[in-house]
Amino acid sequence: MNTNGCSNCAIRGMFFDFLDDPWKHAGMEHEAARFVRDGLLVVKDGIITDFGPYEEVSTRHSGVEITHIQDRLILPGFIDGHIHFPQVRVLGAYGSQLLDWLQQWIFPEEIKYADRDYARKAAGLFFDALLAGGTTTCQAFTTSSPVSTEEFFEEATRRNMRVIAGLTGVDRFAPKDFLISADDFYRESKRLIERYHGKGRNLYAITPRFAVGCTGEMMDRCRQLKEECPDCWVNTHISENPTEVRQAKEHFPDCTDYTHVHEKHGLLGPKFTAGHGIWLSGDEMKRFSKAGAAISFCPLSNLFLGSGLFRLGRAKDPEYPVRLSIGSDVGGGNAFSLVRVLEEAYKVGMCNNTMLDGSINPREQDLAEADRNKLSPYRAYYLATLGGAHSLYLDDTLGNFQPGKEADFVALDWNAGQAAMAWHQSLAVGEGGPATIEEAAQLLFGIMTGGDDRNVDETWIAGQRAYKKPAVSRE
Amino acid sequence: MNTNGCSNCAIRGMFFDFLDDPWKHAGMEHEAARFVRDGLLVVKDGIITDFGPYEEVSTRHSGVEITHIQDRLILPGFIDGHIHFPQVRVLGAYGSQLLDWLQQWIFPEEIKYADRDYARKAAGLFFDALLAGGTTTCQAFTTSSPVSTEEFFEEATRRNMRVIAGLTGVDRFAPKDFLISADDFYRESKRLIERYHGKGRNLYAITPRFAVGCTGEMMDRCRQLKEECPDCWVNTHISENPTEVRQAKEHFPDCTDYTHVHEKHGLLGPKFTAGHGIWLSGDEMKRFSKAGAAISFCPLSNLFLGSGLFRLGRAKDPEYPVRLSIGSDVGGGNAFSLVRVLEEAYKVGMCNNTMLDGSINPREQDLAEADRNKLSPYRAYYLATLGGAHSLYLDDTLGNFQPGKEADFVALDWNAGQAAMAWHQSLAVGEGGPATIEEAAQLLFGIMTGGDDRNVDETWIAGQRAYKKPAVSRE
């Protein structure tokens, strides 16, 4: 893959990444992670060519230009599995659950993205906000206007970012300007796939917005696209809201449940992601697991819209594990920052557990599921990096510092959040920064709970610095 | 009351405050609020002496020195009804619900506050963090060591802040160093009341930490203190966690419910606040209402510890309204910023509504309660200002810009949160800032949902600037 990064350089610093899924190492989660206190990451043409302890790696690359990033934890760039490009400006709108919220806030705003100038301006702000939050890859919805999809990919290309997106199809239950016919959707999707898929770092997702907004004909066209372009991703929503679930069953009466709609149309499988999945039954989750399909867990949005509490512990059932990414779901989610999203994921797990750990009804205890709901820093940052890549079938390309992968990463300043954060973090580590993987994990937890995008000090794309946090003058 | 503020000055700017409870004006909530687009607030010795439109008020005060705060919304200082001074450093600790969390994280940290140097350092950081979040008044727990209570009041005195706090009594179910005997608690409380209550802006709260940690003897001593010092406040916890509720009934077998423990010991009444109240029955809420007792709603903490969803709409039942403040509950809550707390309060309301609006079970609809759960910006900022003051029986002193009140206020920069926030806010208002009260309310909602402590640009105490946000160098 062509990445146009730095031609030959190296970054020295403190690195933290994952080699495995920490849920598979319950009680010993650090075994899934790797902490290199003084490491060297060597990058050529945007690709990691070597990585390990500085002492060892540097001897193999004498003469390479080294950038030393000090007092920061360097992690693989964050992966946002579910975000809406045309909702930058309506993030966190007031007062309605999903279906009303779409009508009142989202439709009028998204319609503006048929205007190229508006979409272009928005794309600049959108990617700026991603980078400021440490997100280097996202899987995004656009609108039913090809213009918005084009401007999304054009801006991603300018920034050389690894992204997944696609024309977003809705052909019923929305204002006329918001709709696209199944035929137009098919034709435009084909054109856009040809133009963007696999060009630079762009990847294309066939994107039926959500089944309630799609006729059977639209879903058939999606199946046709996937058959003709099997290399493409598929991105949609599922079971976000109880009313939506009821409507899905109403509008697809020949399907036994919401998941069946996607099975019936040949979409549920590898490279398929559905956002939310809050109200999926245990049986549906099993079918996701068996099909190799993924859910993007969007806790910030789920709490903001009052959609419900995703059963994280159930999705991580070791017998039927579902591939999971974490998604901001901006603008249903009210922040771009994935550490803020991890904070909310932690809360969702904790709230679930009041139901599962015997707090409310001791007879309904499920301590194993409750334990899987607990979002330790290992589990959290795994979801935001390697886990997200795995869910998107990009773990050969992204997600950790293994040689051969693309050099997208983020440098976190563990003290840079709210006032008194440095004192808080100093409970976990001394002046010299983290000495052990456990101390590093504690700092990362502190960033999730006491921090936000202020802790993102630098974001690098393909071995080049794409974002540096503006300096704050402390008196 | 002595406030030692500026001797004679005035602040010009855009003011927003409340004159009534917006829940009483459903559908017309702006009627409870006041927006003065170009206003003048005149302050003498820390007390507001005049307030209104600049054109009108300035003519009455020629010669007064005017500070013009531009492009900011000036609100009364935020009031945090429930916060733990000795938990600055353990904010957002990992993995346990209330009772385990106390054992694992809180007890070991709070014990350190018997050391005067540690407590003094912490007090500085604590008040810095409050001011950075726009909080000008708090009702705080300290520890069972008088040293921590003294250092809290000493620091508050140096900063001239209106605070409520008290020695925090626990005499069972905690490590030995954490306990104080009922007799010692009584004697030290009396001494501290004499030394601090009503001195400067300090107010004293008799503080049994929570009934589960207090013997009947400790609760009797609290009653005795309240009888001897009826002017003092009472501050405690109630019904935060289902396990705690069960334990309260176990440990006070002669009480019908958790609230009865406080009734039986003569504490439930005016100037009584209990934090949380998540699991209070409808009957208990009514008794709170009738007694004039208050609940401090701590949504950030409630989600973080997985404690549950407070029934906001039930507490605001127009027949039996309960006095409510909003509390950060740092360190169960993981941020000092009350706008972050309002964000979570909004989410709790939204999540409650999935149960109440028919989403899950149409037969269980309670649309009136659901409507009261919706935290509009009017309701939200009311809770953080005048509502909080009302709940603490301080609404003659604090909470809005009425002459005679103390001049604590905060200047909010509505664009200063996460990246792209300015573009987001520009959907609500034009370049010149808000023209109407509704536009101002929309900006405030944007701050709740897209912002945080970064939006607090200045915090003023008794007419003097006590905090100014450090400048960020934008390239």
Note the pLDDT of residue A431. Answer: 83
Note the pLDDT of residue B102. Answer: 85
Chain B positions in Cβ-Cβ contact with residue A243 (cut-off 8 Å): 359
Residue B205 identity (one-letter amino acid): A
Chain A positions in Cβ-Cβ contact with residue B240 (cut-off 8 Å): none
Looking at the structure, do residues A294 and A197 belong to the same domain, yes or no? yes
Looking at the structure, do residues B132 and B14 belong to the same domain, yes or no? no
Note the pLDDT of residue A104. Answer: 84
Chain B positions in Cβ-Cβ contact with residue A472 (cut-off 8 Å): 470-473
List the domain range (segments joined by +) for residue B248. Answer: 78-391
Closest chain B residue by Cα to residue A454: B418
Looking at the structure, do residues B168 and B220 belong to the same domain, yes or no? yes
Mind spelling out the 3-state secondary structure of chain B? CCCCCCCCEEEEEEEEEECCCHHHHCCCHHHHEEEEEEEEEEEECCEEEEEEEHHHHHHHCCCCCEEEEEEEEEEECEEEEEEEHHHCCCCCCCCCCHHHHHHHHHHHHHHHHHCHHHHHHHHHHHHHHHHHCCEEEEEEECCCCHHHHHHHHHHHHHHCCCEEEECEECCCCCCHHHCCCHHHHHHHHHHHHHHHCCCCCEEEEEEECEHHHCCHHHHHHHHHHHHHCCCCEEEEEECCCHHHHHHHHHHCCCCCCHHHHHHHCCCCCCCEEEEECCCCCHHHHHHHHHHCCEEEECHHHHHHCCCCCCCHHHHCCCCCCCEEEECCCECCECCCCHHHHHHHHHHHHHHHHHHHCCCCCHHHCCHHHHHHHCCCHHHHHHHHCHHHHHHCCCCCCCCCCCCCCECCEEEECCCCCCCCHHHHHCCCCCCCCCCCHHHHHHHHHHHHHHCCHHHEEEEEECCEEEEECCCECCC
Domain end among B368, B391, B414:
B391
d(CA A214, CA A196) in angstroms, rounded, equals 24
CATH number assigned to the domain comprising residue A463: 2.30.40.10
pLDDT greater than 80 at residue B4: no
d(CA A449, CA B89) in angstroms, rounded, equals 12
Chain A positions in Cβ-Cβ contact with residue B101 (cut-off 8 Å): none
A396-429 pLDDT tens trace = 999 999 999 999 999 999 999 899 999 999 998 9
Looking at the structure, do residues A167 and A62 belong to the same domain, yes or no? no
Residue from the list A307, A334, A454 with its beta carbon closest to the beta carbon of B449: A334
Looking at the structure, do residues A386 and A459 belong to the same domain, yes or no? no
Question: Residue B462 domain-assigned?
Answer: yes
Q: Which of A427, A409, A417 is nearest to A47 (CA)?
A: A409
Beta carbons within 10 angstroms of residue A408's beta carbon: 32
B121-148 pLDDT tens trace = 999 999 999 999 999 999 999 999 999 9
Question: Cβ separation of A90 and B424 shorter than 8 Å?
Answer: yes
Chain A positions in Cβ-Cβ contact with residue B449 (cut-off 8 Å): 91-94, 304, 334
Residue from the list A93, A357, A424 with its beta carbon closest to the beta carbon of B89: A424
Question: Cβ separation of B418 and A336 shorter than 8 Å?
Answer: yes
Note the pLDDT of residue B93. Answer: 83
Domain end among B358, B391, B424:
B391
Looking at the structure, do residues A226 and A191 belong to the same domain, yes or no? yes
d(CA B88, CA A220) in angstroms, rounded, equals 56
Residue from the list A352, A374, A449 with its beta carbon closest to the beta carbon of B334: A449
Note the pLDDT of residue B442. Answer: 94
Looking at the structure, do residues A147 and A228 belong to the same domain, yes or no? yes
Question: Cβ separation of B346 and A304 shorter than 8 Å?
Answer: yes
Taking the alpha carbons at both ends of chain B, their separation in whole angstroms is 47
Question: Cβ separation of A303 and B306 shorter than 8 Å?
Answer: no
Which residues, in sequence order, are bridge partners of residue B406? B47
Per-residue pLDDT of chain A (475 residues; tens, 9 = 90+): 334 456 689 999 999 999 999 999 999 999 999 999 999 999 999 999 999 999 999 999 999 999 999 999 999 999 999 999 999 999 888 877 788 888 888 989 999 999 999 999 999 999 999 999 999 999 999 999 999 999 999 999 999 999 999 999 999 999 999 999 999 999 999 999 999 999 999 999 999 999 999 999 999 999 999 999 999 999 999 999 999 999 999 999 999 999 999 999 999 999 999 999 999 999 999 999 999 999 999 999 999 999 999 999 999 999 999 999 999 999 999 999 999 999 999 999 999 998 888 888 888 899 999 999 999 999 999 999 999 999 999 999 999 999 999 999 999 999 998 999 999 999 989 888 999 999 999 999 999 999 999 999 999 999 999 999 998 875 4
What would the two tokens of residue B464 be? 């003097």
Closest chain B residue by Cα to residue A92: B449
Domain end among A391, A422, A441:
A391
Looking at the structure, do residues B247 and B222 belong to the same domain, yes or no? yes
List the Cα angle B1/B6/B11 in 5-degree steps. 110
Chain B positions in Cβ-Cβ contact with residue A241 (cut-off 8 Å): 354, 359
Chain A positions in Cβ-Cβ contact with residue B446 (cut-off 8 Å): 92
Closest-CA distance of chain A to residue B310, Å: 12
Looking at the structure, do residues B272 and B123 belong to the same domain, yes or no? yes
More confident residue, B228 or B174: B228
d(CA B101, CA A354) in angstroms, rounded, equals 14
Note the pLDDT of residue B234. Answer: 98
Question: Residue A442 domain-assigned?
Answer: yes
Question: Residue A473 domain-assigned?
Answer: no
Beta carbons within 10 angstroms of residue B332's beta carbon: 32
Query: Which pLDDT band, with edges at 50, 70 and 90, does B105 fall under?
Result: confident
Chain B positions in Cβ-Cβ contact with residue A89 (cut-off 8 Å): 420, 423-424, 426-427
What would the two tokens of residue B319 be? 């027949």
Residue from the list A91, A129, A418 with its beta carbon closest to the beta carbon of B129: A418
Looking at the structure, do residues B69 and B94 belong to the same domain, yes or no? no
Note the pLDDT of residue A350. Answer: 95
Question: Cβ separation of B97 and A359 shorter than 8 Å?
Answer: yes
Question: Residue B64 domain-assigned?
Answer: yes
Chain B positions in Cβ-Cβ contact with residue A336 (cut-off 8 Å): 418-420
Note the pLDDT of residue B353. Answer: 92
Query: Which pLDDT band, with edges at 50, 70 and 90, does B430 fall under?
Result: confident
Looking at the structure, do residues A274 and A224 belong to the same domain, yes or no? yes
Question: Residue A400 domain-assigned?
Answer: no
Contact of A43 with A61, CB cutoff 8 Å: no
Closest-CA distance of chain A to residue B298, Å: 14
Which residues, in sequence order, are bridge partners of residue A135? A78
Contact of B160 with B200, CB cutoff 8 Å: yes
Question: Cβ separation of A306 and B374 shorter than 8 Å?
Answer: no
Chain-centroid distance, C-alpha A131: 13
More confident residue, B281 or B363: B281
Question: Cβ separation of B359 and A242 shorter than 8 Å?
Answer: yes
Question: Cβ separation of A89 and B450 shorter than 8 Å?
Answer: no
Sheet with B409-412, edge to edge strand ranges: B47-53, B33-44, B9-18, B66-76, B409-412, B456-461, B464-468
Summary mean pLDDT of chain B: 95
B322-348 pLDDT tens trace = 999 999 999 999 999 999 999 999 999
Residue from the list A243, A419, A475 with its beta carbon closest to the beta carbon of B336: A419
Measured CA to CA in angstroms, residue A212 lies from A236, A244, A297, B278, B357 at distances of 11, 7, 20, 36, 20
Q: Is A362 exposed, middle or buried (0-12, 13-18, 19+ CB in 10 A)?
A: exposed
Question: Cβ separation of A424 and B308 shorter than 8 Å?
Answer: no
If you average pLDDT over residues B364-375, what whole number do you get?
93
What would the two tokens of residue A386 be? 């390697």
pLDDT greater than 80 at residue B69: yes
Closest chain B residue by Cα to residue A309: B351
Residue A316 identity (one-letter amino acid): K
| Structural domain total, chain A | 2
Question: Residue A4 domain-assigned?
Answer: no
Question: Residue B357 domain-assigned?
Answer: yes
CATH number assigned to the domain comprising residue B125: 3.20.20.140
What would the two tokens of residue A311 be? 């059963």
Question: Residue A107 domain-assigned?
Answer: yes
Looking at the structure, do residues B197 and B67 belong to the same domain, yes or no? no
Closest chain B residue by Cα to residue A372: B95
Q: Pick from B418, B457, B468, B472 the residue to mutate for testing the A interface (most A CBs within 10 Å).
A: B418
Closest chain A residue by Cα to residue B346: A304
Chain A positions in Cβ-Cβ contact with residue B305 (cut-off 8 Å): 350
Note the pLDDT of residue A368. Answer: 94
